[in-house]
Homo-oligomer: A and B are copies of this chain.
Amino acid sequence: MYDFAAELFPLNRSITGEGVRQTLKMCSDRIAEADGVGFEIKNVASGTEVFDWTVPKEWAIREAYIEDESGNRIVDMAVSNLHVMGYSTPVDQWVDLDELKEHVFTLPDQPDIVPYVTSYYKERFGFCMSQKQLDSLAPGRYHMYIDSELFDGNLTYGELVLPGESDEEIFFSTYDCHPSMANNEVSGPVLMCELIKYVKSLKNRRYTYRFIIIPETIGAITYLATGDHLKHMKEHIVAGFNISCVGDDRDYSIVHSKYADTLADRVLLSVLKSHTDGKYSDYSFLKRGSDERQYNSAGVDLPVVCFCRSKFGEYPEYHTSADDMTLISPEGFQGGYDVMIQVVDALEYNRIYVMTQPCEPQLGKRGLFPTVSKKGSYDAVMAMMYFMTYADGRNDLIGISEITGVPVKELTEIVDKLYANGLIKIL
């Protein structure tokens, strides 16, 4: 995953344009390697009305720099995509230092690094650099040069639906509109590709799985507003996950759905508790910030949570040049991946199981219980005993984990054993 992230990192992504299309193509190729099944790439034309919004013009950018009178390039997009404000209009103008400063964004509190800035819905231009660099500029004339274009084109996204036995759907969403930043957000598409490979590998898949890679906010709105997506999703989605910032190795985070009461909340919480031994960050919806906003918005009301390692907005490198390939790691990706596949497994197993007859069964005659009873000897089968008590028709598997504290992962093994012995059935 880390290597694939390194390939995606240099592309200059925005909410539209070539960077997005290249990213989608590379992701699609990656998941299609084994079976030829990649993302379906969809285009929505600029100017399309999407609820309260309009699909914006497409942005193309070829070159952007500031040079001084000696021809030295102070900043250059060729060095870092972050040096030019996203959706900058073209400019070719010599100005003095004071006027230049009106078009430069910095982070005074983090003077060594370059911020990430965009202006999608108001036409303007701008550059980004470190505060230190700005402070070092001598008075004089500077050449602001941006060779960009805003034109009627398309908003592009990728979609993949993997059918299962049921038409109930599990939904995963991530976004591809950020240029050269690693955790936020090369990591989301990378992890999703790996997760798709895992879901493809599941035999007798119970649920249908829907995956989308879209530009943040306007992409999610466009997706919900076009076709019959919203109606279909409200009818079919039982749990959804926005995946963002899943490449670093410092934390695990859940951002809850707006009432924190959906299956998505329950399953991710359950997996995080056992996977991290309780050491994860639990954010209420008031700390939301990514596309869980649209999925939970009034009138959409989908059961969607957000999963992160270190959550956007909570780590100092967020939305700056310091969110680079050194911030993420193979270990970071692996941890995020392990959580997501446990979530999938837990959902696939999450049924209401009931015992096939009253009272505790005789585990001993099935080799499931020690035959000599002495002090402390049956702790080993306690998890199974717990499961059997609460397999009474009132709880799903995640519910039994919530009550007993036994991780879903262990409960799925118990389910398999009791099934094999004819002791449980599905309600």
Residues of A within 8 A of B (CB): 51-53, 105, 107, 115-122, 124, 126, 217, 220-221, 224-225, 230, 258-259, 285-286, 293-294, 296-301, 318-320, 354-355, 357-362, 364-365, 371-375, 385-386, 388-394, 404-405, 423
Contact = CB atoms under 8 A, between A and B. Distances in A.
Contacts of A221: 359-360
Contacts of A375: 107, 115, 318-320
A301 B394 CA distance: 11
A224 B359 CA distance: 8
Nearest to A393: B298
Contacts of A118: 372-373
B53 A362 contact: yes
Given A319-B375, A374-B105, A299 B121 contact: no
A210 to B, nearest CB: 18
Given A119-B371, A122-B371, A320-B375, 11 more contacts: A52-B360, A52-B423, A225-B359, A230-B358, A294-B359, A297-B389, A298-B388, A299-B358, A299-B392, A300-B358, A319-B374
Q: Tell me how many chains of this kind the complex includes.
A: 3
Contact of A357 (B51, B371, B423): B51
Contact of A298 (B122, B293, B355, B371): B355
Contacts of A361: 51-52
A30 to B, nearest CB: 30
Nearest to A363: B52
A272 to B, nearest CB: 21
A105 to B, nearest CB: 6
A373 B117 contact: yes
A121 B371 contact: yes
A281 to B, nearest CB: 19
B51 A258 contact: no
A6 B297 CA distance: 54
A72 to B, nearest CB: 27
A35 to B, nearest CB: 34
Given A285-B389, A374-B115, A297 B360 contact: yes
Contacts of A120: 373
B319 A365 contact: no
Top-4 shortest CB links A-B: A299-B358, A298-B392, A122-B371, A52-B361
A318 B375 CA distance: 8
B294 A360 contact: yes
A219 to B, nearest CB: 11
B258 A390 contact: yes
A259 to B, nearest CB: 8
A119 B298 CA distance: 60
A258 B393 CA distance: 13
A48 to B, nearest CB: 14
A88 to B, nearest CB: 11
